[in-house]
Amino acid sequence: MRYLSVILFLVLSINSVSAANVDSLMMQGNQLYQNKQYDEAINTYQEILDQGYASAALYYNLGNAYYRAGKIGYAILNYERGLKLEPDNEDLQYNLKIVKARTIDRIKEVPQIFLVDWWVTLITAFSLTTWQVLVIIFYLILLASITIFFVIKNGRLQRYSVYSAFISLLIAIFFTIILFANLNRETSKDFAILTTNTVAAKQSPNDSSNDLFVVHEGLKVSVLSQFGDWVEVKLYDGKVGWLPKDALEII
């Protein structure tokens, strides 16, 4: 027990130090942004991401810094990444709309149906960590209920334990589905943002192939497949072509 307490203390201490470091970097980045040192602010915010921390607020700040630095492709990219974590974030939605108004390609996205919007809102209601904790809690309740049923020889308690086990099992399964849906959403690579000023989409994945159409910085595309240094993309108007991998960033 003593060793367990020491380990727990060390883990909490490390998390506390890491959180303090992130807060310090965030304040530093915000100060650089206020001083109009946008490139330095970008580097500071990126340092937080490199440490494995991500949040809608961080992506919002990073997007703002890129926008002020004149890099609208990266600004849109970070607003979109923030919206993957918090789809209903009004600040991200508003700034994304403002920046998209400055893009050259005006291809309207197909709106999602109501049920899809409702599902996305549900699975992103809590963070991935929170969903994990909820799943663990209800599985523990399930195990406790089963234990009570077999250990305590009391008819009423056994009956209640059966009800508890059944309900906790259903909730645990439902939360597990949500957990994996959330994880799949955060790790999906279905969409990308063009970060290059102008690029021609090719008919096949090579430089000598025929040009099909030209796209510009900030455009959101659907990723279909990858081959070497090329990515096959689809536009919302149905056009399909190959783009160099370094011309875009996965959301």
Beta bridge partners of 222: 191, 234
Assess whether pLDDT exceeds 50 at residue 9: no
The model's pTM: 0.76
Q: Mean pLDDT throughout 93-122?
A: 86
Instruction: Quickly state the pLDDT bin for 164 (edges 50, 70, 90).
Output: very high
Residue 130 CB neighbours (<10 A): 12
The pair of structure tokens assigned to 58 is: 């961080």
Q: What are the extents of the domains in the chain?
A: 2-100, 118-187, 191-250
Report the percentage of the chain scoring pLDDT > 70: 92
Range 202-231 average pLDDT = 95
CATH superfamily of 191-250: SH3 Domains (2.30.30.40)
Planar angle of CA 142, 143, 146, nearest 5 degrees: 90
**Got the DSSP string for the chain?**
-HHHHHHHHHHHHHHHHHHHHHHHHHHHHHHHHHTT-HHHHHHHHHHHHHTT---HHHHHHHHHHHHHTT-HHHHHHHHHHHHHH-TT-HHHHHHHHHHHTT-S---PPPPPPHHHHHHHHHHTSS-HHHHHHHHHHHHHHHHHHHHHHHH---HHHHHHHHHHHHHHHHHHHHHHHHHHHHHHHHH---EEEE-SSEEEEESSSSTTSPEEEEEETT-EEEEEEEETTEEEEE-TTS-EEEEEGGGEEE-
What percentage of the chain reaches a pLDDT higher than 90?
69
pLDDT digits (tens, 9 = 90+) for 25-43: 999 999 999 999 999 999 9
Mean pLDDT calculated for residue range 164-187: 93
pLDDT of 20 strictly over 80: no
**Residue 76 pLDDT greater than 80, yes or no:** yes
Can you give the pLDDT at residue 16? 47
- Fold of the 2-100 domain: 1.25.40
> Which residue has tokens 């340092």?
47
pLDDT bin (cut points 50, 70, 90) of residue 4 is: very low
For residues 23 and 59, the model is more confident at: 59
Res 100: pLDDT: 94
Can you give the pLDDT at residue 25? 93
Assign 3-class secondary structure to 99-159: HHCCCCCCCCCCCCCHHHHHHHHHHCCCCHHHHHHHHHHHHHHHHHHHHHHHHCCCHHHHH
Average pLDDT over residues 75-89: 93
Q: What is the pLDDT of residues 218-250, one digit of tens each?
A: 999 999 999 999 999 999 889 999 999 999 999
pLDDT of residue 18: 62
Give the per-residue pLDDT at 17.
Answer: 42
Identify the pLDDT of residue 5.
47
